[in-house]
Structure 1
Amino acid sequence: MRDLIKKAVEIKISTRKSALALAQTKQVQGLVEQKGFITKIIPVVTEGDVVQDRPLHDFGGKGLFIKSLEKSLLEKTSDIAVHSLKDMPVDILEDFSLNIFLPREHSGDLLLLRKETAENFLFLNKNLFKKEDIKKIAALNFATGSLRRSSLLKEVAPNINIQPLRGNIDTRVSKLLAGDFDVLILAQAGIKRLNLFHKNLVKIPLDPLWFTPSPGQGAIAIEHLRNYSFQNHLFFLNCDKTKRQVLVERLILKALGGSCFLPIGIHVKIESSDLVCYVTVLSLQGASVRLCCSFPITLSNNKIIDEVIKKLVDNGVNDILKDLSLPSIDA
């Protein structure tokens, strides 16, 4: 009887229209349909997609990618919305619930070069790009729309030439291949989900121990109205390990008073019985406070956050927060 009820229910899934957003949504759609539900994808245009001539931090941040999707939920034109978690503000409106997270893809970043550039610097067979490697190519033209990525690069090479870049992944890669710039940095998860390949494109993972990922990067999140009647039927999508990781990452970001578009990298790994936090808080000029600390996995999230913030304050994070026009925090 329950199966008959499920098969009669249509779940409308809202998403942005980009190729990556649609690929992620189709992943969710396939999993939901395996449980017997009927689904329909509702593509939505967001303000963040429309305005491409300015960096996100100049006109409202990454939250601009979700407002139209949340409007669709409120108006009941969709039942759930699929997001890249790194684009989600740390605080969402009380009407909504964000507590389903698919198993995380790789959380790190990729450095992309044209093949000829990689050949010139003997990088063709390189499998991990480290801090010292950036110095070798610091004279090249880099492109990224991320303050975090820009600041991480400036930490190593203060005079590095970085041009701002917006647009979907295909557009950015096309500009790289056309020679508009020499080096592009993108999230590894997005490249993998799009199965992006080009014979003249070389992709090298950036060492995450130095190039700290964005909080939530690589994770797909599902948002719905708090009173959505079929939410319990969707909890099978949730990965508990991913949920623990990203909740701690986002709680640290929130405690810092930051948002998903500021130069703050946070990554949490679960290793056996330990939860390991990597935090990098950067100024726009590349000064940084870095922290790596380990906690028993049984320790509560709140206690972990308290300890992380205390260690960051002891290491001078308030000087960086002042540079970012953020209020000081107390240990």
Structure 2
Amino acid sequence: MEKLVIATRRSQLALWQSEYIKAKLQEHYPDMEVELQEFVTKGDKILDVPLAKIGGKGLFTKELELAMLNGDAHIAVHSLKDVPTKFEEGLELGAVTKRFDARDALLSNKYASFEDLPQGAVIGTTSLRRRMAIKLIRPDIELLDLRGNINTRIAKLNAGEYDAIILATTGVQKLGIENEVKYFTPISTDIMIPSMGQATLGIEVTSNEEIKKIVSVLNDKDAHIESTIERSFVDTLQGGCQVPIGVKATILDDKEIRLQAIVGMPDGTETIKDDIKISIDDYETAGIELAKVFISKGAKELLERAEKVAFK
């Protein structure tokens, strides 16, 4: 192929990720031209309403998918946590890249940790998963919605609208803006379990064998194993992106994987949680099996109630 077109959002982080993939592809295919085609998605346009109320994270992928189906682009680069577990006909996940730091992070100009936050402190986050995790450890915290790109969110923190905000560690690190706030503190997964696929890039492709072969060089074995577990867990629960689900698979060695998962109400009043070790040989079914355990404990009913709260 002489030229490959990448569909990308216009946000600074999305462009960083697409440029990263472009550079990786050109390392493998120096004679192939790689071009970025920029799009503004519905999720980028609606900044005053929580994602849970307008359709979830799939709002960041639809325009890019349409461009591929129409032949205007060959692949799209996404944060894997934003990629739904089901694809439109004619599209599929072509590769997942080496995982960056999957933890969430606390950003503040006054406080270095959750322990340091005063009673009734105000934290900015719209994520129902993060809200649940915060309420579990600090029920006194006041939570306010926070939308916009990373720079906008940090600007709101620096303007004094919040005592702290929660962002994905990897996004802040990729843009090199850790020093724009006084305290940048990654949060242990023991406290806040990440979203499925967090800190991994997913390369979406059309069902074209040539394109699939081209991007296959980007697939990272460990990230593939971890994301397969996480995505199958969420898919089996049929929870989607608009309910509080955290799941993190961590390869410990060539034999074992740690699997952490939680579902619950956004206010943390009810949760189902587990932290187990599994054989790496069972990675293709591990997420499904753990989801079945959660379902037997009432996870689907719990998530249905959580979804109703999210859409109020």
Tell me if the contact between 2:228 and 2:283 (Cα under 8 Å) persists in the aligned partners: no
Counterpart of 2:48 in structure 1 is 53
Distance 1:160 1:300, change over 3 A: closer
Tell me if the contact between 1:90 and 1:260 (Cα under 8 Å) persists in the aligned partners: no
Counterpart of 2:57 in structure 1 is 62
Q: What is the CA-CA distance between 1:205 and the residue it aligns to? A: 0.9
Tell me if the contact between 2:264 and 2:271 (Cα under 8 Å) persists in the aligned partners: yes
Counterpart of 1:86 in structure 2 is 81
In terms of Rg, which structure is larger? 1
Residues in 1 aligned to 2:227 and 2:237: alpha-carbon distance in whole angstroms: 15
Map 1:1-331 onto structure 2 (within 5 A). 9-34=2-27, 35-36=29-30, 37-114=32-109, 117-118=110-111, 123=112, 129=113, 133=115, 136-198=117-179, 200-227=181-208, 229-272=210-253, 273-286=255-268, 287-302=270-285, 304-313=286-295, 315-318=297-300, 320-325=302-307
Aligned CA-pair RMSD: 1.8
- Give every structure 1 segment of 4 or more consecutive aligned residues whose post-TM-superposition deviation is greater than 6 Å: none
Tell me if the contact between 1:155 and 1:288 (Cα under 8 Å) persists in the aligned partners: no
Q: Answer with 102-111 or 308-317: which moved more.
A: 308-317
Residues in 2 aligned to 1:306 and 1:156: alpha-carbon distance in whole angstroms: 28
Residues in 1 aligned to 2:304 and 2:51: alpha-carbon distance in whole angstroms: 21
Q: What is the CA-CA distance between 1:300 and the residue it aligns to? A: 5.0
Distance 1:285 1:31, change over 3 A: same
Tell me if the contact between 1:282 and 1:320 (Cα under 8 Å) persists in the aligned partners: yes
Residues in 2 aligned to 1:306 and 1:184: alpha-carbon distance in whole angstroms: 33
Structure 1 vs Structure 2: percent identity of aligned residues?
30
Q: Secondary structure at the match of 1:198?
A: helix
Q: TM-score, normalised by structure 2?
A: 0.92
Q: Answer with 34-43 or 192-201: which moved more.
A: 192-201
Q: Answer with 153-162 or 31-40: which moved more.
A: 153-162
Q: What is the CA-CA distance between 1:181 and the residue it aligns to? A: 1.1
Q: What is the CA-CA distance between 1:253 and the residue it aligns to? A: 0.5
Q: Secondary structure at the match of 2:166?
A: strand
Residues in 2 aligned to 1:233 and 1:91: alpha-carbon distance in whole angstroms: 22
One-letter amino acid of the structure 2 residue matched with residue 291 of structure 1: D
Q: Secondary structure at the match of 1:229?
A: helix
One-letter amino acid of the structure 2 residue matched with residue 106 of structure 1: D
Tell me if the contact between 2:243 and 2:307 (Cα under 8 Å) persists in the aligned partners: no
Residues in 1 aligned to 2:202 and 2:288: alpha-carbon distance in whole angstroms: 25
Counterpart of 1:329 in structure 2 is none
Residue-pair matches, total: 304
Q: Which runs of 5+ in 1 are unaligned?
A: 1-5, 124-128, 327-331
Q: Secondary structure at the match of 1:73?
A: helix
Q: Which runs of 5+ in 2 are unaligned?
A: none
Q: Secondary structure at the match of 1:29?
A: helix
One-letter amino acid of the structure 2 residue matched with residue 245 of structure 1: E
Tell me if the contact between 2:7 and 2:73 (Cα under 8 Å) persists in the aligned partners: yes
One-letter amino acid of the structure 2 residue matched with residue 63 of structure 1: G
Q: Secondary structure at the match of 2:147?
A: coil
CA offsets 1:101-155 (integer angstroms, 9 cap, x no match): 11010111000001xx13xxxx3xxxxx56xx27x43421110121111111112
Q: Answer with 141-150 or 198-207: which moved more.
A: 198-207
Tell me if the contact between 2:107 and 2:166 (Cα under 8 Å) persists in the aligned partners: yes
Q: What is the CA-CA distance between 1:305 and the residue it aligns to? A: 3.2
Distance 1:80 1:197, change over 3 A: same
One-letter amino acid of the structure 2 residue matched with residue 253 of structure 1: V
